[in-house]
Amino acid sequence: MGYRDSVVCSADHLFVFAFRVTPANVSDKVQLIPTLSSLEAEGMLKYVGALWGDNAFWTTGNREWLADKHVADHLHTAEETGKDRKNPRSARRKSKIRSKIEALFGILRENYVFQRSRVRTLPRVTIEQALIFTAHNLFGLMALIDGRFEDHLSMRRFLWTLK
Amino acid sequence: MATAVEIPQMTQVLATLEKNQVHFSPTLIELVWEDVEKLKASLPASYDATARFLALARPIVEACLLQAGYFPPESPVGRPPFPAAAVMLLHVLSTQEACKSYRFLPDYVNSHPTWLRALQLQKAPSDSTLSKFRTKMGEDFFQRFFNALRNLLVAFGLVTEKQAMIIDTAPVAASANLARANGSAKLDEEKLKQLFETLDLSPADPLFPPESGHSKSSPYPRAAKQRFLLLEKLGGFLSRNSALLYLQRHPEVNQLVGFPEGQVPTQPTFTYFEKHNPALAEWVQPLVGQLVAFFDAQGDYDEDDPLPFFFRHTERRESPG
């Protein structure tokens, strides 16, 4: 019961680049194109050179769309998933990058009211999620401007300790 | 994760903007940069890290607001509004884990005078003001604000062209009161029976139009419909539908109300009834004396908390939150 956030983040600094909030019953595999389409509409898809993601996104439609937009597809395949995966080495290689987003979710969950909502109805929850991602990016930018970029992921250190 | 990132020069930022064709006004960035540099040089020593963040972030938030299409009203009616940048920064603070709720936010901020000073506020706006701001601006505005800030990240070189990106989804638990949603109440049938036996509806009869012989008459007696409407109000049902559902699930109560056995009317029956007859407040008027006498005679009736009189609440499930 609830909602689902699909998030696109940068692999190096973990900034949230795009997001989309839907009801929880919307499948992961149909989230990729609408989330990236919003970037395309603003001419920001050129910043997405390659895309990593789990095998929920690995559908023919998604892969064709990515190929059409010249985005390198590094999504986990069905063969790279599960206990008896056929290609464990490539799975490990992809996981090394893909798993960084789990760290972002962990950081957001620890520092912000992420993965739970204090309001009701989809528009209000979308606003709340937009504020969370805005706050995360703003702290990152402010950390850079304040000359303490090493603290950009630790909001507690950034907000509660003076350099 | 790379952490050794230097602050770019303003010329670099402007060059990035030009090269990558990011939608952000270069003039705005130059103004922001000037403001930030001035502020950095003049921040009071008393500021803690949060106040410092709020003070330095204000020009950036102002620029993003302009970029997102927000312009302050030129001649606002009534009290001058709170600056939008301060309200946005308060919202940013509200997303912190330390801030328990939107209602808690004004107290949280008011207890830190340096934060108020950094936001250039005398007093934090109330939670209601913040809520109105969110409602007024709407979902699109917050999305545009997010996009404006993201473009600024690009301008500052924190996101570069053809970058590696990761996509994933995360569940967001709904703010639902499961205890209320799953709670069920059982009506005290004895008391209801007593009320309906005592209550004589005939004083209200003259208020109703005589039934015409032309149209097909309703299979439900008028008195039963009146009793149902009384039950709906006195029982404190959350909606008419929930009251009708209760009758469907409890045939004994349906019988007490006076509907034919096994038949429960639908909502349109009552919509039609209310449309063609006087309002409930009107036809209850002649019955007020009887109702007052009935409730006065009940020892366990509490005027301040009338609902438990008819309801025996069943145990509710604990809310997970």
Residue A139 forms part of a structural domain: no
Return d(Cα A98, Cα A52) in angstroms, integer: 5
Give the CATH number, domain containing residue A97: 3.30.420
CB atoms < 10 A from the CB of A17, how many? 24
**Antiparallel, parallel or unpaired: β A72-75 and A2-10:** unpaired
Return d(Cα A154, Cα A135) in angstroms, integer: 12
Is A17 in contact with B170 (Cβ distance < 8 A)? no
Cross-chain CB nearest to A141 (options B153, B160, B169): B153
Q: Is B176 exposed, middle or buried (0-12, 13-18, 19+ CB in 10 A)?
A: middle
Cross-chain CB nearest to B142 (options A9, A119, A131): A131
Residue A38 forms part of a structural domain: yes
Query: Given this model, what pLDDT does residue B24 score?
Result: 86
Question: In this predicted model, what pLDDT tens digit does every residue of A80-108 receive, in sequence order?
Answer: 887 777 888 888 889 999 999 999 999 99
pTM metric for this prediction: 0.72
CA distance A119 to chain B (A): 6
Query: Given this model, what pLDDT does residue B76 score?
Result: 66
The neighbouring-strand residues paired with B167 are: A8, A53
This complex has an ipTM of 0.96
First vs last C-alpha separation in chain A:
42
Query: Given this model, what pLDDT does residue B193 score?
Result: 87
Query: Given this model, what pLDDT does residue B226 score?
Result: 92
Between vectors from CA B133 to CA B127 and to CA B135, what angle results, nearest 5°?
105
**Antiparallel, parallel or unpaired: β A16-23 and A2-10:** antiparallel
Residue A150 forms part of a structural domain: no
Cross-chain CB nearest to A116 (options B159, B160, B172): B172
A72 lies in which domain range? 3-115
Chain B 260-289, CB below 8 Å of chain A: which residues?
A: none
Return d(Cα B144, Cα B150) in angstroms, integer: 10
Q: Is B129 helix (H, G, I), strand (E, B) or coil?
A: helix
Between vectors from CA A83 to CA A77 and to CA A89, what angle results, nearest 5°?
55
For chains A and B, CB pairs below 8 A equal: 244
CB B199, CB B291: distance < 8 Å: yes
Residue B139: HSE in the Cβ half-sphere, 13 Å Cα cutoff: 10
Residue A93 forms part of a structural domain: yes
CB B169, CB A6: distance < 8 Å: yes
Higher confidence at residue A159 or residue A3? A3
Residue A42 forms part of a structural domain: yes
Is A51 in contact with B150 (Cβ distance < 8 A)? no
- What does each of the 321 residues of chain B score in pLDDT, given as a tens digit? 545 677 888 888 888 877 777 888 888 888 998 999 999 999 999 999 999 999 999 999 999 999 999 988 777 677 788 999 999 999 999 998 888 788 889 999 999 999 999 999 999 999 999 999 999 999 999 999 999 999 999 999 899 889 999 999 999 998 877 656 665 667 788 888 888 888 999 999 999 887 665 556 778 889 999 999 998 888 777 788 888 988 998 898 899 899 988 889 999 999 989 888 998 889 999 999 998 888 888 877 777 666 667 765 544 444 444
Quote the percentage of chain A above a pLDDT of 70: 98
Question: Structure tokens of A133?
Answer: 């991602």
Contact of B142 with chain A, judged by CB distance below 8 Å, is answered with yes
Residue A8 forms part of a structural domain: yes
Is A4 in contact with B172 (Cβ distance < 8 A)? yes
Nearest to B88 by CA among B116, B112, B61: B61
Query: What amino acid occupies position A139?
Result: F
Query: Given this model, what pLDDT does residue A57 score?
Result: 95
CA distance A84 to chain B (A): 23
Query: Given this model, what pLDDT does residue A79 score?
Result: 83
Nearest to B199 by CA among B300, B287, B301, B279: B287
Q: Is B300 helix (H, G, I), strand (E, B) or coil?
A: coil
Query: Given this model, what pLDDT does residue B315 score?
Result: 44
Q: Residue B138: which residues within 8 A CB-CB, separation 6 or more?
A: A123, A127
Q: Is A60 exposed, middle or buried (0-12, 13-18, 19+ CB in 10 A)?
A: exposed
How many domains does chain A divide into? Answer: 1
Is B172 in contact with A132 (Cβ distance < 8 A)? no
CA-based nearest residue in chain B for residue A163: B49
Question: Structure tokens of B123?
Answer: 């007093």
Chain B 39-98, CB below 8 Å of chain A: which residues?
A: 48-50, 52-53, 56-57, 60-61, 91-92, 94-97
pLDDT averaged over chain A? Answer: 91
Contacts of the segment B184-188: beta carbons below 8 A, 24+ positions apart: B184/B314, B185/B311, B185/B312, B185/B313, B185/B314, B186/B311, B186/B312, B186/B313, B186/B314, B187/B235, B187/B246, B187/B250, B187/B253, B187/B310, B187/B311, B187/B312, B188/B309, B188/B310, B188/B311, B188/B312
CA distance B146 to chain A (A): 5
Cross-chain CB nearest to A48 (options B147, B152, B165): B165
